[in-house]
Amino acid sequence: MMQFMQKSLHGYRPAWRRRRYLTKTLMVMKLTIVLLIAFVFHAGAKGLAQNVTYSGNNVPLETVFTEVEKQTGYFFLYTKQTLLNTQPVSFSVKEMPLPDFLKKIFEHQPLTYTIASKTITITPTLEAIPEKLQVTVKIPVIIPPVTISGRIADMNGAALSGASVTVKGTSKGVSAGTDGRFILSNIPDDALIVVSAIGYQTIHVRILNNSLNRVGENGKAEVIGNGGLTDQLILLKRGTSQLDETVVIAYGSTTRRMATGSIGTIKGEDISRTPVANLQEAMQGRIPGVNVIFNNGKPNSPVKIQIRGRNSLNPNSYTDPLYVLDGIPLNPLSHQETMGYLTPGYTSGPMQAGLNYNGGENLLAFVNPKDVESIDFLKDADATALYGARAANGVILITTKRGKPGPTRVDVDANFGIVTPTRKIKLMGTADYLAVRREAFKNDGITPTLDNAIDLVKWDPNRQVDWQDFLLGTGKSQTYNLNVSGGVGHTNYRFSANYTETDQLLNFSGKSKGGGLSANITHRSTNQKLQLAFNSILGLTDNTTYGVGTDAIFLPPNAPDAFTKEGNANFSEWRTTFTTVYPFAGLFLSNPSQTATFTSNLSASYELLRGLSVSMSGGHIFYDNDNSSFRPLASQDPAFTRISMAYFGKTTGKTININGGLRYKRYVGKGTMDIGLTAEYVKQTSKAVASYGLGYPNDNMMKNINNAMIRNVGLSFAEARSIGLLASLRYDYENKYILNVNLRRDGSSKFAPGRQFGNFGSVSGSWILSNEKWLDRILPKWVSSLKMLTTYGTTGSSSTGDYEYLSRWTILAGNGERFPDYENLPAMRINQPVNQQYQWESTSQVNYGAELALLKDALVLNVTHYRKLSGNQLLEIPTPEYTGFISALGNLDALVLNTGWEFSLSGRISVSKDLSIGFSLNMDIQRNKLKEYPNLEESPYAQTYVVGRSISNQYLLHYTGIDPFSGNPTFEDRSKDGYIAQYDRYPLLDSRSDLSVVINTDDAKYQGGLQLVVNWKDLQFSTGMTFRNQIGAIPYLSGVMGEMKNFYLPDSEKNKVWRKPGDIASYPRFTTNPVNEITRSDGYYANASYIKFNQLSVSYSFPYRWLNKVHLKDCRIKFAVNNLGYITPYKGLDPETQMSLYAGPVQRQFSTGIGIGL
C-alpha cells in the first residue's frame, strides 16, 4: 500500500485509477461489439440460454447429454466406462435452470460432476467404485505437471511439419519439427491440449488415466495409440470443411480460415470434370474479380486475364497477371516488333517473331489441365506484395499434382468428341439479298457493272449458299492421359503423359495438337529434416491455321463455288475487268507453328534447429517456337501478276529463377510466430528471328528461304534481370488475431542506374470473431465462423521493354528498307528516343473483407471491397512528329483509381447418405476512373480521358434517328455550330464539343458465375455457367446494308429500314458507300449481356464390388458438353468475341470418355 501511495504523491495517476480507466475503456469496446453482434444475431440468442426444456421416458443419459449440449452450448466430458452402471431416466421439464436440471438427472445415479468454463466433467462417485479399489486419503495429493511428446502425422503416416500443439487458455505451446515430433513440458494434468495443422482437422486432447485421450465433439474420450503420455503417434484427418482447404501463397501455404489476403482457388477435381480447350477456359466464371477475355474461339489462341480491372492509361497495355508454375514465373519477354497480326493487349506467348493468324500462342498451352492440382489467384496487396514488382496485376499460382504414399497406381483415361459452333445466325436468302443490292445502287444513283457489282451482273441469281455451312463445319477431338503414381519409403513419385488433338472450326484442315510428359518426385530423409522435390514438364504444341477470316461467312448467297471440280481455286468466276475478288485465297495460306516448352525445378529444405529451416530452389524454363506462313502461287489468280511469299519466325527463350531463404517458426506468448527472409534472382533472355522470302520458283520450294529471289532477315534480342529481397512476419494469436507483414526491395534492369530499385510491402490482419469466448455466448449455434480482415500494401510495376533507357541504332528506315550506304559504310539512324528518368510505376491497394460460415461450415459467404490506386503511370507518351518519334517512354503524373465489390457463396450440403450437393456462386462489380491528371487539357490525352470518369469510356455522338427525307443517320449538334464533328479538337464533354454520350464497352456492369455439383450414389452431375452484363456493338449495324456482303436483320426489324422519303425509320437507307457514320455514335451500341453455359457433365463410377472382380481400382464413364451455348439478346454469332476479323466463334464440344485405375 505504501508503494501504491508513493506513486500518487509523485504526481502520477494512482495505479488503481489507471486500471479502472483501462478496464472501463475495454468494457465499452467489448459492450459495443456485443450489442452490434447481438442485434444481427438476436434470433439465435434464445437458443443459448442456460435453461433446459426436455421430455422423455427411459432415455439413456448419453441422449440427454446430447440434447443439453444443443440447448446450452455446454459439453460433457466422460468415458464410456463411466456410464456402464447408469440407469435410463424419465421426466418432463420446461425452462428449468441448468444447475437444477443437472441435479435432477444425476439423482440416484452413481455419478458426480464438476463444471469448469463450459465443460461438465462426469466421474463415478466413491460408492460406485468397488470396495477393494477404494482408498481412504487423509493427506492431499498434489499431482505434478506432466510432459507429453509424440509425432504428428496425416492418416498415411507422413509427418506434418509445423503442426501446432498448444495448451488452451495458456501461453504454452510448441510447433512440430520437420519430422512432426514435439515435446511439451509442465502441463497441468487437467489441461485441454489443441493439436492443429494447415489443411487438417483440429483435435482436442486431455490427459486421463495417465494417457493422452482424443476428445470428440460429443465429449467422449478415446485413448490415443497404446496409451501413455510420451512418444505417441497423433494422426490428423484432412479437413473436410471448405475453410480448412489449403491455399497456396508465395513460398508457402495456409488455409482459407487463416488467410489474411484475398485469395481464390480452383481445385484440380473441378477442372478435370469437363475437357477444356485450354487452362484459362477452366478459370472462367469461377473466381470473383477475375475476367477471362478470349481473343477468338481457336483452342490455342492467346487469352487475356484481368484481375480487378485495368489500372493503366494505355488501353493496349498487357494486363495479364504473373503466372507461376510450381514456383517458376512463366511470363516471357516481349519484343513483338517482329510479329504480325498481333491483337493489342494480348501477349503472343512464346511466339515473338513471324506471322500468325491467331495473334500468337496461348502462354499455358503446354500445361495439361489433368496434371493441375490447384490454381490460386492472389488478388490483393497482402498476397501480391510477396512477388513485388512483377505482381502489380495480380498473381496466378499453378500447382501440379504430386505423388502420394502407397502402392503404385496407374490411371488411364480417354475422351472422344466432336466440336461445333455454339450458334449460327440467320442470313438473307438470295432473293432478299439481291433486292437490297439493287435498291442500294438505286439510292446511290450508280449503275451496276462487272467491277462494282459482280454479284448482280455475273453470278447466278438463282444460286443460294449459306457460307456458314461451308466454313463452319463439325470437327473431331480426342484426348488421352496416362499417369503412374505412388510412394516407396520416404519417396513419392508421379509420372504422366498426355496427347490431345482438336479440329479448328473456321479453317479447312486447321488443327491444334499437343502432348507432353511430366515428372514429380518428392523425398524426405529418414529423420524428416531434409526434404527434396523435383518436378519437370515437357510440353509440345503443333497448330496449323489458315488465313481465311470470318468475313467469308458474309459472302453473297449467290457467290460461286470456292473450288473447281478438280479442287483448284475457282478464280474465273470471281474475276472482274482488272482484278479478282476471290475471297478464299486464305484457304491456301497455311500457317503452321510448333512450340516446345521445358520446365524444371529442384527445391530443398533442411531443418537446422527445431523451428529454424533453410531452403533453396532453382527453376528453369526453355521454350522454342518455329512458325511459318506461306502465300503460294496457287492462292493467286494466274490471270494477273503473281508473286509467292513465305514468312518465317523463330523464338527461343529461357528463364532462370533462383531463390533461397531462412524461416523460423515457434510458439511465442499465446500464439505462433513465423519469420521469413527470402532472396530471389531472375534472369530472362529471348531471341527472335523473323525472315521472309519473295519470288520462289514454285510452291514446292517455299519451305527453304534460300530458294527465294529476294530475302530479308530481322533479329531481335531481349534480356532482363531482377533481384528481390523479402522479409515477412506472421503472428497468429490463439487462432483469433492474425497479423501479417511483408517488406520487399526489388531491383530491375529495365531502369537506368540510380532508378533500378524500389521498396514495396504490405500489412494485413484478420480477426476471427467466432473464436472469442465472450462472443461465442451470443452467436447462434448455426454460425460456425465469423472473420473480418483488412490489408494495405504497395506494389511496383516495370511493365515496359528491356533496356529502353539506352539508345539504339538501326540501318533500316521506317518503311523497313535499308538506308543507302554512305562512302561504303552503312548509314544508321537512332531507333528510339532516350529517356533515363523514367522509374517504377506504383500501385497502392486497400482491401476490406468479411467471411461468414454457417451450419458447421456447410455454407460460406465472403464479401470483399477494394480500392486500388495506380500512379506514376509508365507508358509511351505521344510526342510531336517533328522530334523524329511519335512517342517516348516516360512517367505520367496521373492517378487511376480502381474500386470494386466481390461476393461469393459456396456450399457443401449432405442431404442424405447417398445424396450431396455442392455449389459456388460469385459476382463482382468493378469500376475505374481517372482520379487525377494535372493539365490534362494541354496533354495528348485531352480527347481521350476526363478526370473523374472511367478510363474505359468512349465519347460519342448522340444518334437522333434517320432523316425522313434522305434516309441518312442524323446526330445531335451539341455545339450548335451547324457542323457535326466526330473527332473534336475541344476537350471531352466541353460545351463546344459534339461528343456528349459516354459508352463503356470494355467493363461489365457486373459479372459472375455459378458452379453446381450433385452426387447421388455413384452418379455425379455437374454444370457451370457465367453471366456478364455488358454493352456491345449491334451486329447488323457493324457493316453497311447494301454493300456486297450478306447481313442479318431480325424479322422484327426489317420494316424499320428507310425505303422512301417520308419514312420514319430506325435504320438508314441501303447504300453501297462503305462509310458507316453510326459506328461513332451511341446508336451503334445495344445490350450484349449473356448467360453462358460453360459446361455440363454426367459421370458414373462403377461399384467397387464389381471392379474388384476384374482387379480394377476405379472405372468411371462420363459424358460432357463444353461451351453449351448462350442466353443473350445479342444477335451475332458470339457475344464474347463479337466476331472480329480472323476470330472464330467459341467452339462447343461434345465428348464421351472413360477413366480406369489399375
The reply to whether 586 falls in a domain is no
Measured distance CA(777)–CA(786) in Å, rounded: 14
Summarised one tens digit per residue, pLDDT across range 767-820 is 999 888 888 788 888 998 999 999 998 887 777 777 778 877 777 776 667 778
Q: Which helix (H) or strand (E) holds 155?
A: none
The answer on 298 and 177 residing in a single domain is: no
At which of 400, 430, 452 does a domain end? 400
| Residue (of 876, 875, 866) closest to 897 by Cα position | 866
> How far is CA 929 from each of CA 207, 865, 875, 953, 969, rounded to the nearest angstrom?
61, 16, 17, 9, 32
Q: Grid coordinates standing for 960?
A: 437522333
Query: Torsions phi, psi of 690, nearest 5?
Result: -120, 135
The answer on 162 and 86 residing in a single domain is: no
| Under 8 Å between Cβ of 1124 and 1093 | yes
| Residue (of 404, 375, 365, 363) closest to 270 by Cα position | 375
Helix axes 15-40, 2-9, angle to 10 degrees: 90
Report pLDDT for 832.
77
List of the chain residues with pLDDT < 50: 1-49, 132-141, 1140-1143
Helix (H/G/I), strand (E/B), else coil: 630: strand
Q: State the pTM of this model.
A: 0.81
The reply to whether 823 falls in a domain is no
The answer on 380 and 289 residing in a single domain is: yes
> How far is CA 1066 from each of CA 119, 478, 1039, 1055, rounded to the nearest angstrom?
76, 48, 15, 9
Helix (H/G/I), strand (E/B), else coil: 1150: strand
Q: Say if strands 173-175 and 119-124 run parallel, antiparallel, or are unpaired.
A: unpaired
Report pLDDT for 739.
93
The answer on 358 and 286 residing in a single domain is: yes
Q: Grid coordinates standing for 1105?
A: 464390388
Domain extent, residue 284, equals 244-400
Q: Grid coordinates standing for 1010?
A: 455459378
361, burial (CB in 10 Å: exposed 0-12, middle 13-18, buried 19+) = buried
Half-sphere exposure of residue 609, counting CA atoms within 13 Å on the CB side? Answer: 6
Report pLDDT for 509.
61
Instruction: Provide Rg for the chain, Cα atoms.
Output: 36
Measured distance CA(68)–CA(78) in Å, rounded: 15
CATH number at residue 89: 3.55.50.30
- Going by the DSSP 8-state scheme, the letter that residue 913 receives in this structure is S
The answer on 164 and 249 residing in a single domain is: no
> Would you list the DSSP string of 1011-1054?
EEEEEETTEEEEEEEEEEE-EEE-GGGSS-TTSSS-----HHHH
Report pLDDT for 905.
95
The reply to whether 62 falls in a domain is yes
Summarised one tens digit per residue, pLDDT across range 903-914 is 999 999 989 889
The answer on 114 and 158 residing in a single domain is: no
- Alpha carbon dihedral 578, 582, 585, 587, in 10-degree steps, equals -170
At which of 78, 98, 130 does a domain end? 130
The answer on 56 and 113 residing in a single domain is: yes
Query: Torsions phi, psi of 8, nearest 5?
Result: -70, -40
The reply to whether 725 falls in a domain is no
The reply to whether 309 falls in a domain is yes
| Helix residue ranges, H only, 715-813 | 773-776
The answer on 271 and 222 residing in a single domain is: no
Work out the number of other CB atoms within 10 angstroms of the CB of residue 566.
6
Report pLDDT for 729.
92
Q: Say if strands 1019-1029 and 530-546 run parallel, antiparallel, or are unpaired.
A: unpaired
The answer on 85 and 151 residing in a single domain is: no
At which of 239, 255, 281 does a domain end? 239
Report pLDDT for 593.
93
| Under 8 Å between Cβ of 843 and 869 | yes
The reply to whether 322 falls in a domain is yes
The reply to whether 264 falls in a domain is yes
DSSP bridge pairs for 714: 690
Measured distance CA(964)–CA(1063) in Å, rounded: 5
709, burial (CB in 10 Å: exposed 0-12, middle 13-18, buried 19+) = exposed
CATH number at residue 233: 2.60.40.1120
19, burial (CB in 10 Å: exposed 0-12, middle 13-18, buried 19+) = exposed
Work out the number of other CB atoms within 10 angstroms of the CB of residue 325.
22
The reply to whether 115 falls in a domain is yes
Measured distance CA(975)–CA(985) in Å, rounded: 12
- Going by the DSSP 8-state scheme, the letter that residue 61 receives in this structure is H
Measured distance CA(381)–CA(785) in Å, rounded: 24
The answer on 186 and 56 residing in a single domain is: no
The answer on 197 and 123 residing in a single domain is: no
Domain count, the chain: 3
Report pLDDT for 158.
77
Work out the number of other CB atoms within 10 angstroms of the CB of residue 163.
24
Report pLDDT for 9.
30
DSSP bridge pairs for 122: 113
Q: Say if strands 873-878 and 887-892 run parallel, antiparallel, or are unpaired.
A: antiparallel
The answer on 233 and 250 residing in a single domain is: no
Q: Which helix (H) or strand (E) holds 602?
A: strand 590-609
> How far is CA 556 from each of CA 443, 463, 584, 1034, 1045, rounded to the nearest angstrom?
20, 10, 13, 21, 6
Work out the number of other CB atoms within 10 angstroms of the CB of residue 808.
10
The number of angstroms, rounded, from the C-alpha of 1000 to the middle of its chain's C-alpha atoms is 24
Half-sphere exposure of residue 105, counting CA atoms within 13 Å on the CB side? Answer: 27
Measured distance CA(356)–CA(145) in Å, rounded: 75
Task: Please work out, in degrees rounded to the nearest 5, the angle formed at the alpha carbon of residue 797 by the alpha carbons of 794 and 801.
Answer: 170
Residue with cell 515473338: 352
| Under 8 Å between Cβ of 628 and 547 | no
Tell how many helices (H) and how many strands (E) occur in the chain: 13, 57
Work out the number of other CB atoms within 10 angstroms of the CB of residue 624.
15
Residue with cell 449481356: 1089
> How far is CA 951 from each of CA 68, 379, 419, 467, rounded to the nearest angstrom?
60, 21, 38, 39
